[in-house]
Amino acid sequence: MEADSVDRLLDQWRHERPELDVAGLGLAVRIEMLAKLLQRTTAETLSEIGLKPWEYDVLSALRRQGPPYELPATGLAKASLLTSGAMTTRIDHLEAQGLVRRTADPTDRRGVRVGLTPRGIRLVDNAIEARFAAAAQSVASLTVRDRAALEGGLRKLLLALGPKT
């Protein structure tokens, strides 16, 4: 198998600190490097459609809800792992672009619901198609079996390390 830059990094650590087990570092560094590369690809793909990744995150969270494509603002913040203040700023920005609208929450006098506008639906649908195509292209070098094995291992790791929600 061909060596990558992480193999070379690990070899250096094996030489400099042979008493250390580098096995965990190899996996962690590869995941970190891939995350950066995939984030760059995502940003470039979405930029072609006129969206920033954070805009896509909010719009796609709403789109996944199905009709009427809305959530309480607090639920949207939670789904995006953001504070309510940060989400308010994002909603303000998207509302100014005509991509989302705010309405009073009928179940909570103090609450606000955020929903996609028709323009927001069209834009996020285009972005979703481009995003899915870019993701498929990113993993095209892997076989179906490789993808399933990698996805299973990463799922276990995410469940062990990720938020307990």
Instruction: For residues 152 and 157, give the distance between their C-alpha atoms in angstroms, rounded to a whole number.
Output: 9
Average pLDDT, the chain: 93
Q: What's the whole-model pTM score?
A: 0.85
Please give the order of strands across the beta sheet that includes 100-104: 70-72, 112-116, 100-104
- State pLDDT tens for residues 121-138: 999 999 999 999 999 999
| DSSP class per residue in 52-97 | -HHHHHHHHHHHTT-TT-EEEHHHHHHHTT--HHHHHHHHHHHHHT
Tell me: the pLDDT tens digits for 15-61? 999 999 998 999 999 999 999 999 999 999 999 999 999 999 999 99
Residue 6, token pair as written in the block = 């992480």
